[in-house]
Amino acid sequence: MSAGPGAGAAAPVTRVLGFAEAELPAALAAQVAALEAEAWPGATPGHDPALAPRALLLVTADGTVAASLALLFKDIRHAGRTYRAAGLSSVVTRRALRGRGCGARLVAAARRELAAVPGLDLVLFSCDRPLAPFYEAAGFTRLPGAVLVGGTPEEPLATDGPGFDKEVLAEFLGPDGPDGPDGPDGPDARAGAAAFAGTRIDLHPGLVDRLW
């Protein structure tokens, strides 16, 4: 899920803070829950502990959460290979601060943090189609025709389901990624994208985070 990233007027003075979600201070957690409730009324805050959720926040000098997102992690099996995958979830910018680059700064920080995670193979997530250019500008690659299948095998939820208009994006890390020897357009990165583009990808994060 994502809401309100953008760039425009000068951003307020901010810093990026990261926490294991279970260790998020109560005052910050309350602000994140309020932002998510505003963006997605009725949604339950928090994520499945099995996905090792990590909260990343953009916080102003006075302690206001300007933007927040969650990083989620799990192993997935695809095309005969097991990948250690991460996803962006619940990306949201405070309504009063939208259009000032807060979302862009936070997503850039998320990319840097994920690139430093040992053993992580790829970042994989979906977004509403109008937001795909924002994530492309942040450095992620669209996977044309790819479909994420969330939920569980018994209760799946796919990004091409009724009422959805989603794009799937990814970044391939390690030798397949932007810091690998072949660069973002090298053969390893192209091979990584080719293994996922146009395919159905069994994410299956469970029934708490049915899609991340």
pLDDT tens digits, residue range 136-166? Answer: 999 999 999 999 999 999 999 999 999 999 9
pLDDT of residue 193: 80
Confidence band for 181, pLDDT divided at 50, 70 and 90? very low
Contact 58, 97 (CB under 8 A): no
Asked if pLDDT for residue 77 goes beyond 60, the answer is yes
Provide the whole-model pTM: 0.89
pLDDT of residue 178: 45
Confidence band for 194, pLDDT divided at 50, 70 and 90? confident
Mean pLDDT of 15-25: 98
Mean pLDDT of 156-177: 88
Average pLDDT along the chain: 90
Contact 121, 176 (CB under 8 A): yes
Asked if pLDDT for residue 186 goes beyond 70, the answer is no
Asked if pLDDT for residue 103 goes beyond 90, the answer is yes
d(CA 208, CA 156): 12
Confidence band for 7, pLDDT divided at 50, 70 and 90? very low
Mean pLDDT of 99-104: 95
Taking CA atoms, 198 is separated from 29, 77, 194, 195, in Å, by 38, 16, 8, 8
Asked if pLDDT for residue 100 goes beyond 90, the answer is yes
pLDDT of residue 102: 96
Asked if pLDDT for residue 116 goes beyond 60, the answer is yes
Asked if pLDDT for residue 1 goes beyond 60, the answer is no
84 pairs with which residues across the strands? 75
**Nearest Cα to Cα of residue 3 among 48, 35, 25, 44:** 35
Q: What angle do CA 91, 134, 191 make, to 5 degrees?
A: 100
pLDDT of residue 189: 56
